[in-house]
Chain A
Amino acid sequence: MEVFQRRWVGTFIVILGVTFPIALGYLWLVLTSTNREVHGLWPIGGWELQNWRFLWEPIGRRPMIWQVLLNTLIFAGGVSLLVVTVSAMAAYAISRMNFKGRGMFLGLVLVLHAFPAVSLLIATFYVLVMLRLFDSLLGVVLVMTAFMMPLGIWLLKGFFDNLSWDMEMAALVDGASRFRIFFQIALPLAKPGLFALGIFSFLIAWGEFILPYTFIASSRVWIFSIYLESLMGDLSATDFGLLTAVGLFYTLPAVIVFLLGQKYLLQMYYGGSKG
């Protein structure tokens, strides 16, 4: 007991040591965004909400922040939903069904996973233009989803592999079709995996920059990361107070989603359903 506690204290100190600089950074972000001037971590000149003015007025010729927020929600939510839906179906088929080329498909998915998305940017650009999906949210959502599929398939395949065959056979004998088994038996039992993947891909999409930056041109469909980048555009005139406030605002939804979904994310590492 004693030993356990002492070790726990040690762990705590290590974790504190590692996270301290990060926590300081966030503190700085909060202070800078709400004060006229900050020296070190010491606020000077009192409160002001000047840096948060982007909430009620457009900054320069940029779109209103609420439009950007909506776009980002649609983007990350769409990616999350699509990744979960398509991966679940693909993973179930790969895990439970016997079809020609199954092994090869699985290998291919793995190879795709190894490809950095950046190396495919130009090819993807042409495909999008051809499909008339360039400069649209749908286009980026599709591309982003495609890049996340290998991870999603492998993750959910692990969950489906853990379901007992007996249960599936029992359902067949009970008269269920494979579709019914998928929807009523397999999906509910893989729920922790679905949530984990959903939250994970939401967070990844929320932070994604390269893909939207490349495939979105007009400010109408800007998302947060592009908006933020535009504020840093020319360094000479960068308004750091504004930048920190926007950055903070940008982080908030991600933090909320993370806190809500933390327990599912942890499940990802165990990769399996418990009864």
Chain B
Amino acid sequence: MRAAALELKGVPVALRGLAKRFGTVDALTPVDLDIEAGELVAFLGPSGCGKTTTLLLIAGIYRPTAGQIYFDETQVDHLHPRDRDVGMVFQSYALYPHFTLFDNIAFPLTIQRTARNVARERVTRVAEMLGIGEILERRPSQVSGGQQQRAALARALVKQPRILLLDEPLSNLDAQIRLQARGEIRRLQRQMGITSILVTHDQAEALAMADRVAVFCQGRLEQFATPHDLYHAPANTFVAGFVGHPPMNLVEGRIENGRFRGAAGLELEVDVEGDGPATLGLRPEDIRLDAGGVHAGEVAIAEALGRETLLTVELGSGLQLPGLQLKVLVAETEAVPPGTAVSLDLAGAARHLFDGEGRRIP
């Protein structure tokens, strides 16, 4: 309610063939991305895949090697950061150690030459909204990590930017505060309707918070989709293996006459025309243990995960070559010790098929 007074309005962001090269390293290969106004998009990917680089390109810290950036249909990639009107939270928070929290948060307003009393009022309001109103006279080194994170967020929000960029803002917090901060950021972002990009390498965070997730790998955008689609229709084997926990089983093999043949005599009917090499993806949580199942095997490892147990089942052990291991997630009550002979029921499992290049076969 108090937030309403801040009157933030997000704008759509578009990246067109955006690329960045550092010397000989392609940190980002041409990327096209359309982010809608008020949307929260997560950039997800392993370390070094170009997430921060993309964020800094949008913020205007780096100059793109190629491509354009549009905010609300206006090209901005030639603009100085200060003319782009973005707020950013850095992974290290990057607070100014010699300023108090108040001065840190007020810094963007000082630069804009906002009238002193207006600035004071806005800083106080943002700080109170984030629950750090009482400690504004302290220096960054005199407050906790969670409070520093809030101060950094307040500094990003105080100038009422059109776009909010968050570079792993939660990675330095302990698990409990992290969950709380997740909800808080999401709530603020919704309230203000501010277009936001959240960089993270924690997929749970991305899937839980974002409207849509952009998955990066080695400077390439692998897929840009809703969490639902990412999980149910991964665009390629990288996304299939990266999103979801525990990761999807990926079985290499061939498609012949509408049947997929993998290692260890694994054979399944698939609804695909044409023959050729293929990869079959099966989520561990989709596979059932079934006494009468056709795929016989033996439990090799059993990992207790709390409510569930992750079994590694060796198929076609013995004389059948080559062997094949499948991960199967079962309820704790169904767990069996290693060495037990089991058979698997794959009938109910969604079959994700990928072609020889690893692209999804629709």
How many residues of chain B have a CB within 8 Å of chain A?
26
When the two chains form their complex, are residues B98 and A170 in contact, meaning their CB atoms are under 8 A apart? no
- Which of B56-64, B191-199, B206-214 lies on the face that meets chain A? B56-64
Q: Which of B56, B90, B165 has the most CB of A within 10 A?
A: B90
**Which residues of chain A are within 8 angstroms of B159 by Cβ–Cβ distance?**
174-175
When the two chains form their complex, are residues A188 and B98 in contact, meaning their CB atoms are under 8 A apart? yes
| B239 CB-CB contact with A under 8 Å | no
**Which residues of chain B are within 8 angstroms of A275 by Cβ–Cβ distance?**
97, 141
| B112 CB-CB contact with A under 8 Å | yes
| B100 CB-CB contact with A under 8 Å | no
Looking at the complex, which one of B61, B81, B97, B111 makes contact with A189 (CB distance below 8 Å)? B97
| B155 CB-CB contact with A under 8 Å | yes
| A185 CB-CB contact with B under 8 Å | yes
**Which residues of chain B are within 8 angstroms of A171 by Cβ–Cβ distance?**
96, 107
**A167-B94, A275-B141 known; A173+B61 contact, CB < 8 A:** yes
**Which residues of chain B are within 8 angstroms of A7 by Cβ–Cβ distance?**
none
| A164 CB-CB contact with B under 8 Å | yes
Cα-based distance from A175 to B92 in the complex (angstroms): 19
| A169 CB-CB contact with B under 8 Å | yes
When the two chains form their complex, are residues A185 and B81 in contact, meaning their CB atoms are under 8 A apart? no
**A174-B155, A189-B97, A275-B97 known; A169+B61 contact, CB < 8 A:** yes
When the two chains form their complex, are residues A174 and B111 in contact, meaning their CB atoms are under 8 A apart? yes
Nearest CB of chain A from residue B88's CB, rounded to whole Å: 5
When the two chains form their complex, are residues B90 and A174 in contact, meaning their CB atoms are under 8 A apart? no
When the two chains form their complex, are residues B107 and A174 in contact, meaning their CB atoms are under 8 A apart? yes
| B65 CB-CB contact with A under 8 Å | no
**A169-B90, A189-B98 known; A176+B111 contact, CB < 8 A:** yes
**Which residue on B lies nearest to A176, using beta carbons?**
B111
Nearest CB of chain B from residue A13's CB, rounded to whole Å: 40
Nearest CB of chain B from residue A243's CB, rounded to whole Å: 47
Chain B 66-113 interface residues, beta-carbon cutoff 8 Å to A: 81-82, 86-88, 90-92, 94-98, 107-108, 111-112
**Which residues of chain A are within 8 angstroms of B155 by Cβ–Cβ distance?**
170, 174
Nearest CB of chain B from residue A231's CB, rounded to whole Å: 48
Nearest CB of chain B from residue A189's CB, rounded to whole Å: 6
Cα-based distance from A172 to B88 in the complex (angstroms): 10
| A180 CB-CB contact with B under 8 Å | yes
**Which residues of chain B are within 8 angstroms of A166 by Cβ–Cβ distance?**
90-92, 94
When the two chains form their complex, are residues B56 and A169 in contact, meaning their CB atoms are under 8 A apart? yes
Looking at the complex, which one of A169, A173, A177, A188 makes contact with B87 (CB distance below 8 Å)? A173
**A188-B98, A189-B97, A275-B97 known; A173+B81 contact, CB < 8 A:** yes
**Which residues of chain A are within 8 angstroms of B108 by Cβ–Cβ distance?**
174-175
Looking at the complex, which one of B61, B97, B165 makes contact with A172 (CB distance below 8 Å)? B61
When the two chains form their complex, are residues B90 and A180 in contact, meaning their CB atoms are under 8 A apart? no
**Which residues of chain A are within 8 angstroms of B87 by Cβ–Cβ distance?**
173
Nearest CB of chain A from residue B92's CB, rounded to whole Å: 5
**Which residues of chain A are within 8 angstroms of B165 by Cβ–Cβ distance?**
173
Nearest CB of chain A from residue B318's CB, rounded to whole Å: 57
**A176-B82, A275-B141 known; A170+B111 contact, CB < 8 A:** no
Nearest CB of chain B from residue A273's CB, rounded to whole Å: 9
When the two chains form their complex, are residues B90 and A175 in contact, meaning their CB atoms are under 8 A apart? no
Chain A 62-97 interface residues, beta-carbon cutoff 8 Å to B: none
Cα-based distance from A167 to B148 in the complex (angstroms): 14
When the two chains form their complex, are residues B86 and A164 in contact, meaning their CB atoms are under 8 A apart? no
Cα-based distance from A189 to B107 in the complex (angstroms): 16
When the two chains form their complex, are residues B112 and A175 in contact, meaning their CB atoms are under 8 A apart? yes
Chain B 117-175 interface residues, beta-carbon cutoff 8 Å to A: 141, 155-156, 159, 165
Nearest CB of chain A from residue B64's CB, rounded to whole Å: 16
**Which residues of chain B are within 8 angstroms of A174 by Cβ–Cβ distance?**
82, 107-108, 111, 155, 159
Question: 1/0 contact trace for A113-135 toward B, CB 8 Å?
Answer: 00000000000000000000000
When the two chains form their complex, are residues A172 and B90 in contact, meaning their CB atoms are under 8 A apart? no
Nearest CB of chain A from residue B276's CB, rounded to whole Å: 48
Q: List 19 A-B contacts (CB under 8 A).
A: A166-B92, A167-B95, A169-B56, A169-B61, A169-B88, A170-B90, A170-B155, A171-B107, A172-B61, A172-B82, A173-B88, A173-B165, A174-B82, A176-B82, A176-B111, A177-B82, A188-B98, A189-B98, A275-B141
Extra inter-chain contacts (15) besides given A173-B87, A174-B108, A174-B111, CB under 8 Å = A164-B92, A169-B59, A169-B88, A170-B94, A171-B96, A172-B61, A173-B59, A173-B81, A173-B156, A175-B81, A175-B82, A175-B112, A175-B159, A185-B96, A188-B98
Chain A contacts to B: CB under 8 angstroms: 164, 166-167, 169-177, 180, 185, 188-189, 275
Q: Which 4 pairs from chain A and chain B are nearest by CB? A: A175-B82, A170-B94, A166-B94, A174-B108
